Chain A
Amino acid sequence: MIYEVFRQERKGQPFHHAGSLEATDQTFAEAYAKEFYGRRGESEALWVVPREAIIEVEDFADELNRNYHRVDGYSLREKLKEARERAGRALVARDR
């Protein structure tokens, strides 16, 4: 069975994918993972997960074009430029 190993370098940090290993059962998977990714104290913790238990999601269709909850839904640059110009003009008009 193939297991994927994720390792955490320091407490509080996210787990990153480290690599995979093949083991006949969980006990061996744990032992191999420790040998491969924790022997020199380089990991705080490991997640050892059977590859088949991982649900992979790669398709992020956005049929409704809901850009209001994405960064690219907000183009502040043009609006900010316009607002600054307006404020500048108002200042000049006031000082006159």
Chain B
Amino acid sequence: MNEQEFLQYVQSGGQVEVTNWMPDDYRAKLVKFIEMHGNSELMGVLPEREWILRAPTLQRKLALTAKVQDEVGHSQLIYRVVEDLGKPREQCLDDLISGKAKFHNVFHYPTKTWGDVGVIAWLVDAAAIISQKALLKCSYAPYARIMKKICWEESFHILHGRDVVLTLMNGTDEQRELVQEAVTRWWGPLMQFHGNPIPKEEDPMYVWRIKSQGNEEARQQFLDGYVPQIWELGLTVPDPKLRKSDDGVWEYSEPDWDELRSVVTGHGPRSQERLDLRRKAREHSAWVRQVLLAKAA
């Protein structure tokens, strides 16, 4: 099979296993994409981790701890897939900590109140699950298979997020205000989350069928699924242009692509602080790795 035949194979729905031949460019794109996903799962727990000690009830504390454990578990599974493609986990972590590798924009922002925790688990996880469900059809089969488990757990998290949000909305005016402020804070990053609306045919991740949908398709799906849910609770979305046109397409103000670029290259409000924490955690746990590796040798 040559590169052209391989391309036709994946474009007609063919899937590839770890032992199969694949073009170097395909392998490189897979590593880049999947590694960023792994990084995002690992970094994504940090904003929520900040609230474990401040959770309002024991039940919430346990639920949030479980969610954090799930997300770290996802990063373990995902790095394993990257390792099989040729990039060792240690190198992924080195590149993450040095700022060479990226992670999703939404994990570079602060969490100001418990309202943020609800909105993250509800809307950020909802945006993420739309991208992740599209990966169930990924041309690289080992990645598609672990995505089944990941999507299943993510839908759990959305449930948890909705429960937190609904509890606050049924509470006091002050609590409702917390949710509204969080929606207002997160709307910009959420609209940037699925990336710029380049036609999918020009997106190399789509060309190789690593992703099965375009960026704008994903954003439209998010808006269609969640804006009505936001509105029905009496919450306001901070975009006066947001409306569903007669042909069913959502219109919205242009997301701030400069902000997205700056944030994902490590210039977000919490980028460096969170990377520092990851760096320290890695140093503190070095002895565990040494013991285990010595045992293996």
> Which residue from chain B places its CB closest to the CB of A17 in the assembled complex?
B145
Q: Is the interface of A mostly helix, strand, loop or mixed?
A: mixed
Chain A residues, Cβ within 8 Å of B73: 35-36, 39
CB distance from B232 to the nearest CB of A (A): 30
A25 touches B295 (CB 8 A): yes
B99 at the interface (CB under 8 A from A): no
Known A18-B145, A24-B293, A25-B296; further 8 A-B contacts with Cβ < 8 A? A1-B296, A2-B84, A19-B81, A19-B146, A24-B292, A35-B73, A36-B76, A42-B152
Q: What B residues does A17 contact at CB under 8 A?
A: 145
Q: How far is the CB of A14 from chain B (nearest CB, A)?
A: 15
- Answer whether A20 and B295 are a contact pair too, CB < 8 Å, given A36-B73, A42-B152: no
Answer whether residue B142 sits at the interface, using C-beta atoms and an 8 A cutoff.
yes
Interface residues on chain B, size class: 10 to 19
B interface with A by C-beta (< 8 Å) = 19, 73, 76-77, 80-81, 83-84, 142, 145-146, 149, 152-153, 292-293, 295-296
B77 to A, closest residue via Cβ: A19
Q: CB within 8 A of A21: which of B80, B152, B153?
A: B80
Per the bound structure, the CA–CA distance linking A61 and B81 in Å amounts to 31
A18 and B152 contact, Cβ closer than 8 Å, known pairs A24-B296, A25-B295: no
| Chain A contact residues, CB within 8 Å of chain B | 1-2, 17-22, 24-25, 28, 32, 35-37, 39-40, 42, 56
Residues in A whose Cβ lies below 8 Å from that of B80: 19-22
CA distance A2 to B79 in the complex (A): 13
State A28–B291 Cα separation when bound (angstroms): 13
Query: What A residues does B83 contact at CB under 8 A?
Result: 22
Jot down 24 A-B pairs with beta carbons below 8 A, ordered by A: A17-B145, A18-B149, A19-B77, A19-B80, A19-B142, A19-B149, A20-B80, A20-B142, A21-B76, A22-B80, A22-B83, A24-B292, A24-B293, A24-B295, A24-B296, A25-B295, A25-B296, A32-B76, A36-B76, A39-B73, A40-B153, A42-B149, A42-B152, A56-B19
Closest A residue to B80 by beta carbon equals A20
